[in-house]
Structure 1
Amino acid sequence: MIGIFKTNVGNPEERQQMIQAISASFPVGNCHVDLDDCDKVLRIADLQVEEKTIVDFVKKLGFECQPLE
């Protein structure tokens, strides 16, 4: 499954922090945050946990996060 989420990541350092934390904590494929997109879209390939788990985790990191349809 591919997870697509709206975030408020603001810069490359925050993006790297989020991606490293997600990759270290969950069995996922490629993660990417598009800083040029107005929704700062987080895309996670091969997502093997529920979207709510990712949302809660990212919020604990201090970022906003919600699934995009």
Structure 2
Amino acid sequence: MDILIFSTSVNKPEDVEQVQPILTSVQAIEDWNFDLEDCDNILRVVSNDLPPKYIESLLNNAGFKCEELAY
């Protein structure tokens, strides 16, 4: 199980509602959540064998910035 962490431009609950159907439709994602209190509007994704670039492209295609953070 991998935990991927991203900095995003998702910054309000309405944005989360917009990306929710996108993230929940990916079967390889076990769980995900946003921390909108963090200055980087963190997205955490729990998955098996999912490349970070895939998550980045999903959010970018939805109109949001998304970049994996090293940890």
> What is the rounded CA distance, in whole Å, between the counterparts of 2:48 and 2:10 in structure 1?
20
Match of 1:37 in 2: 38
Aligned length: 69
Q: CA separation of 1:47/1:65 partners in 2, compared to 1, >3 Å: closer, same or farther?
A: farther
Higher strand proportion? 2
> What is the rounded CA distance, in whole Å, between the counterparts of 1:16 and 1:47 in structure 2?
24
TM-score, scaled relative to structure 2: 0.86
**Which segments of 5 or more consecutive residues in structure 1 lack a partner in the other structure?**
none
Is the 8 Å Cα contact of residues 8 and 42 (structure 2) preserved in structure 1?
yes
**Which segments of 5 or more consecutive residues in structure 2 lack a partner in the other structure?**
none
Is the 8 Å Cα contact of residues 28 and 48 (structure 1) preserved in structure 2?
no
**Aligned residues: CA RMSD:** 1.3
> What is the rounded CA distance, in whole Å, between the counterparts of 1:21 and 1:33 in structure 2?
14
